[in-house]
Chains A and B, each alone.
Chain A
Amino acid sequence: NAGVTQTPKFQVLKTGQSMTLQCAQDMNHEYMSWYRQDPGMGLRLIHYSVGAGITDQGEVPNGYNVSRSTTEDFPLRLLSAAPSQTSVYFCASSYSGQYGYTFGSGTRLTVV
């Protein structure tokens, strides 16, 4: 099992550009979430999903879109990148609400 795979690991964007952060898991987990972590800060929830076709907003959803067409994949789209979106992005998945989350290794995004 690869676990939770995030690509790319590093990305530099110019302000206004759009991109998609990829997240895939091979553990048949229903629950998937996206978090961002700024230097010295905790993890803030962007969007989450409890199954294919179901997504909802977290604490900081503005500027991001998600979709969940399959159980395995949960991509995060930045619509028009801003310097405030410079952060480390973590994707995480869980079997259900009574289990812990497995995190991917993260994507370090810099917006200039």
Chain B
Amino acid sequence: QQPVQSPQAVILREGEDAVINCSSSKALYSVHWYRQKHGEAPVFLMILLKGGEQKGHEKISASFNEKKQQSSLYLTASQLSYSGTYFCGTEVQTSYDKVIFGPGTSLSVIP
């Protein structure tokens, strides 16, 4: 039931763009995205509900393809502060009271 994330890790230079993907084998009710910096708690970025939507948050946006059971997180014009581990969390339609997280994608932004 754990979602799959790709890539596992990515290194960017400031100003470059990145895409992080999240996919599930089950029909999804929602997809959550969180960022965790080293030694800190995860911080909520956004949630996408079934209905196939796209959301934006500053230069970070996400899409949700309900039919493909996939979500992508887009980081544009990356900043040093974007470094961290990004987790997607999914709620499946048959059990949407709990959020199961993927293994995470480590993102490093270098000058």
Show the binding face of A for B, using Cβ within 8 Å.
Answer: 31, 33, 35, 41-45, 48, 50, 56, 58-59, 90, 92, 97-106
Query: Distance (Å) between the CB of A24 and the closest chain B CB?
Result: 15
Total B residues in contact with A, Cβ cutoff 8 Å: 27
**Inter-chain contacts of B46 with A (CB < 8 A):** 100
Contact present for B97 and A50 (CB under 8 Å) = yes
Q: CB within 8 A of A43: which of B42, B45, B47, B96? A: B42
Closest to B101 in A: A43
Contact present for B98 and A58 (CB under 8 Å) = yes
Contact present for A97 and B87 (CB under 8 Å) = no
Contact present for A98 and B41 (CB under 8 Å) = no
Contact present for B47 and A100 (CB under 8 Å) = yes
Closest to B46 in A: A100
Contact present for A98 and B97 (CB under 8 Å) = no
Docked CA distance A84–B32 (Å): 28
